[in-house]
Structure 1
Amino acid sequence: MRELIDSVHRLDGARGANAYLIEADDRSIVIDTGVPSGAKRLVAELEAARIPAITDVVLTHYDPDHVGAAAAVQRATGATVWLGAMDARILSGEVAPPTRTRRMMRRFNRPGRADLPEVTELPDDAEFEVAPGVVTIPAPGHTPGHHVVRWRGVAFIGDAGLVSKGRLIHLPAMLISDKGQADATLAAITAMRPRLVLPGHGRAGRLD
């Protein structure tokens, strides 16, 4: 676990995607969890850390490289697992993924029952405070129910974008469910003027 700024850490145990930890007074909030194969390492890392008990896990979206270890973390800690409402329904299989590419990806990466956490849905049409000062913001485009998390000027943006040379750019087009929404989301994140951007992939960065 590496501290990036005061009370914000990157979790080394997660595999496949970046996972982060916020220490917010007496609450500890995990942002994304990586793939299932990293679950044991991630749980061991959290258990060894000298932090308040994990109370919440916020999943930015339903892709397996972000939700894969969430069920294991939930079993180990009893944390509430949060996910955008539409993405929760896609994760559970109630709703099909929104594009042909994503439906093909789902066919080869369908999670088993043991890999599915018990999810509490986030509203897809409003900001929501999951812990004091830790706010989730609907950020569709990459997936229909994608959310970003804001805390003390830090933006945890999942796969809404990547940081490149001081600006936000999209992930590959084949991974974007709705380009118009994705454009609007990047503009909204930029307008927040975050002091630090923590993406789901790649390095943290600051925007010009």
Structure 2
Amino acid sequence: MATELGDGVWHFELRGVNAFLIFDDVPTLVDAGTPWDESTLRTNLAEIGLTATDIERILLTHYDLDHVGTLDALAADLDASVYAGAFDAEILAGQRAPPLSNHKGAFQRLTGLLTSQPSLAIETIDDGDEIGSFTAYHTPGHTPGHVAYVSRDLNVGLLGDLVTESDGALNPSEWVMSYDTGAVGESIRQLAERAPPFEIACMGHGSPLVSGGSDALDALAEQV
């Protein structure tokens, strides 16, 4: 089911993971679920009067099977570029393999067998880049190329898997699913310090916060 979190900010609850549709300067999909979420994602789009052909931009917070899984299946209907941090963009484009020397990288190498490289333009973004109303913040740790996006205009922070939500509070990405938990903590602190205030907090796992998003991030930053 598609749920409106705020003006033009929609939450799609997929198979154990969240995606979001943002009406920014163009309709923007944020993350793309697992390979088994194509039908559900299309249904969610239809609930708000869209089809995949209406999507003009895709913002990826990071490369993981449950965030890039539908891209290949949707690609034939999409005339949109995919934006991602450099390390993760290279994995998505098939230019780099996740490192077997890291436990998370080895897991990504395995799960990568379940998806295909999408036939879409992949654009690399850097820290501080502006895409529509969003500013990109490089937040490594969960993955080396993880990016969070914050829009002052839309009052929303797209936090990906830098954090998870539980009982209305934010928690840092755990060791088992992170490249580097020390980097996770530093990224949380840096994002809390650098990003403008926002009410709506959108994360990959857990329930999005419709108010007090940056306050919750600040509270977590004091703990990590």
Indicate whether the TM-score tops 0.5.
yes
User: TM-score normalized by structure 2?
Assistant: 0.80
More displaced, 61-70 or 43-52?
Answer: 43-52
Cα distance in 2 for residues equivalent to 1:117 and 1:185: 31
| Residue in 1 that maps onto 2:208 | 204
Q: How does 1:1-208 map to 2 (within 5 A)?
A: 1-12=2-13, 14-25=14-25, 27-47=26-46, 49-51=48-50, 53-98=54-99, 99-111=101-113, 114-124=116-126, 126-131=127-132, 133-151=133-151, 152-164=154-166, 167-191=169-193, 192=195, 193-205=197-209, 206=212, 207=216
Q: Secondary structure of the equivalent of 1:71?
A: helix
RMSD: 2.4
Letter in 2 for 1:171: S
Judged with a 3 Å threshold, the aligned counterparts in structure 2 of structure 1 residues 45 and 94 are, in CA distance, closer, same or farther, namely same
Q: Secondary structure of the equivalent of 1:37?
A: coil
Judged with a 3 Å threshold, the aligned counterparts in structure 2 of structure 1 residues 73 and 80 are, in CA distance, closer, same or farther, namely same
User: TM-score normalized by structure 1?
Assistant: 0.85
Cα distance in 2 for residues equivalent to 1:156 and 1:195: 11
Judged with a 3 Å threshold, the aligned counterparts in structure 2 of structure 1 residues 32 and 91 are, in CA distance, closer, same or farther, namely same
Judged with a 3 Å threshold, the aligned counterparts in structure 2 of structure 1 residues 189 and 135 are, in CA distance, closer, same or farther, namely same
Judged with a 3 Å threshold, the aligned counterparts in structure 2 of structure 1 residues 200 and 68 are, in CA distance, closer, same or farther, namely same
Judged with a 3 Å threshold, the aligned counterparts in structure 2 of structure 1 residues 117 and 17 are, in CA distance, closer, same or farther, namely farther
Instruction: Report the CA distance between 1:167 and its aligned residue.
Output: 4.8
Letter in 1 for 2:156: V
Q: Please list every run of 5 or more consecutive structure 1 residues that lacks an aligned counterpart in the other structure.
A: none
Instruction: Report the CA distance between 1:174 and its aligned residue.
Output: 1.9
Cα distance in 1 for residues equivalent to 2:169 and 2:76: 38
Contact 2:149 2:158 in 1 (8 A): yes
Q: Please list every run of 5 or more consecutive structure 2 residues that lacks an aligned counterpart in the other structure.
A: 220-224
Cα distance in 2 for residues equivalent to 1:11 and 1:70: 15
Instruction: Report the CA distance between 1:77 and its aligned residue.
Output: 2.6
Q: How big is each residue's C-alpha offset from its partner over 1:171-194, in whole Å with a ceiling of 9 and x where there is no partner? A: 221221123321121113333333
Instruction: Report the CA distance between 1:56 and its aligned residue.
Output: 0.5
Q: How big is each residue's C-alpha offset from its partner over 1:68-118, in whole Å with a ceiling of 9 and x where there is no partner? A: 012233322312111211112123443332453124313431246745342
Judged with a 3 Å threshold, the aligned counterparts in structure 2 of structure 1 residues 119 and 113 are, in CA distance, closer, same or farther, namely farther
